Structure 1
Amino acid sequence: MIDRPVRIGLQLQPQHMDYATIRRVASEAEDLGADVLFNWDHFYPLSGEPDGLHFECWTMLAAWAESTSRVEIGALVTCNSYRNPELLADMARTVDHISDGRLILGIGSGWFERDYTEYGYEFGTAGGRLDDLAESLPRIESRWGRLNPPPTRKIPVLIGGGGEKKTLRLVAKHADIWHSFADAETLEHKLGVLRGHCETAGRDPSEIEVSVAYKADSRERLHELGARLFTVGVGGPEPDLAELRQALTWRNDVNK
């Protein structure tokens, strides 16, 4: 059994603000003591003005790799559909090196139809996109083993989503971190399903860090269930880090 401390992430949603603001808030989050800094992999805002300011995920992660020095960085989550898996593996390896080993590869099957249609990707079906993810994950892992230089460490893979038949099976086989937006009751059920997939895969489920959205009113129950990475989400135009400060105080108390 792996005993993990609570960690706090910030998902700095790259929408409705200029890059100077994004860079400033990223640095502030690191200075406050956040453990992980996430963005997301979309091409348009997910809330507010649909055609508002927005920036691309992976070029931003490379910039964060240079502008930060301590926090882990990653996407919550990368859309598997948007990049060839070998290319994505190489991109992740490169950002891993730029950051001196601080990258988390967050990945999911994709869902935001406008991204697909506007950028020329085939949207298909949810099941088909999950099948594509299942094909891509071994290719990413294989490419990491062939790159020169190799990654600086075993890059942690975070898989997002809660589908019980396909997604959680992939989590059991490939993930170091599983992210869910579920409430406590749903999370308890999903963890039972995940344990079943881990048993089938011959894997200890405690090897997988459980990641959730930070919710002040349910954080203790989520923690009791096994969640250890709690992420606060903020977007533009003026990100408010008050909830991040609250979460960090709670983390420090829990980890004493």
Structure 2
Amino acid sequence: MTSSSLRPVRIGVQIAPQHSTYTEIRDTLTTLEELGVDVAFNWDHFYPLSGDPEGTHFEGWSMLAAWAEQTTTIEFGPLVTCNTYRNPDLLADMARTVDHISAKNGAAGRLIFGIGSGWFERDYDEYGYEFGTVGQRLDALAEAMPRIESRWSKLTPPPTRKIPVLIGGGGEKKTLRIVAKHADIWHSFADTETLERKLGILRSHCEEIGRDFDEIEISTGASVRAGVGSSDTDALDAQHALGATLFTLGISGPGLDASQVTDLLAWRDAKNAD
């Protein structure tokens, strides 16, 4: 990947697969692609994370396969898939298959492989996975990443491109070291002050293992509530100044309100024109 100083700003939108019909989700994805959003995300859970805990919810990877077929230009992926819900080799094969489904008109696939260690205990309890401890789940992620990468090299056919790996989470001793070793994109889930500190820690991990820090794209959350040019863009500007270039807005049903997207796209275009 290019140096962060040369990397363009991108806008992502995470469509929460909860409290909506699938028709609403599908139509929203079409709108986002038409608007020029760079990346569409869902998530990998089995129950709603907000609102009515017994509300409507859909499984993420089945949805991503449908998105691969539906879309033609937008990149997409889970933000993020839970490592311990599936055998790592199977997960690699699933991702490779979705990557191929998304390859259109002679271009490579468009999947971004977002992954994390997992945290939502209800998923584990209801589906029969062992929850364990935070440390155990992070150790499992560290063990899974080489298996996933190895499986991609063995599959026939292989992925259409080097599938970009996004790792989400900010644990300073384990997560950020896994990011340094394996990620093309780090999603921070952090405010500006926290992001600045964690970027320094990530840089140190990269130096320790001989990885070029600038190979890793920095991803973070985004919102614009009062329009471009308002004080509400200050956090975006500050995080961009720190090196963040992928900014993702989360939307959820009921309603799937994407009204902030056009302002975010205008902010993106202004930054990229500088």
Find out whether 1:252 has 2:263 as its counterpart.
Answer: no
TM-score by length of 2: 0.93
What are the residue-to-residue correspondences of 1:65-214 with 2, within 5 Å?
Answer: 65-100=68-103, 101-214=109-222
CA contact (8 A) 2:223 2:260 kept: no
TM-score by length of 1: 0.99
Q: Deviations over 1:134-170 (max 9, x none)?
A: 0000000000000000000000000000000000000
What are the residue-to-residue correspondences of 1:215-230 with 2, within 5 Å?
Answer: 215-216=223-224, 217=232, 218-230=235-247
Structure 1: how far apart are the matches of 2:264 and 2:222? Answer: 7
Q: Deviations over 1:197-219 (max 9, x none)?
A: 00011011000000000134300
Aligned to 1:9: 12
RMSD of Structure 2 on Structure 1 (CA):
0.7
What is the SS of the residue equivalent to 2:187? strand
What one-letter code is carried by the residue in structure 1 that aligns with 2:266? Answer: T
Instruction: Name structure 2 gaps, 5 residues minimum.
Output: 104-108, 225-231
Aligned to 1:241: 258
Q: Following superposition, which runs of at least 4 residues in structure 1 exceed 6 angstroms of deviation? A: none
What is the SS of the residue equivalent to 2:260? helix
Aligned to 2:48: 45
Instruction: Name structure 1 gaps, 5 residues minimum.
Output: none
User: Aligned-pair distance for 1:58?
Assistant: 0.2
- % of aligned pairs identical? 68
What one-letter code is carried by the residue in structure 2 that aligns with 1:99? Answer: S
Structure 2: how far apart are the matches of 1:142 and 1:237? Answer: 40
Q: Deviations over 1:62-118 (max 9, x none)?
A: 000011110001000000010000000000000000001100100000000000000
What is the SS of the residue equivalent to 1:255? helix
Structure 2: how far apart are the matches of 1:66 and 1:252? Answer: 28
Structure 2: how far apart are the matches of 1:49 and 1:81? Answer: 25
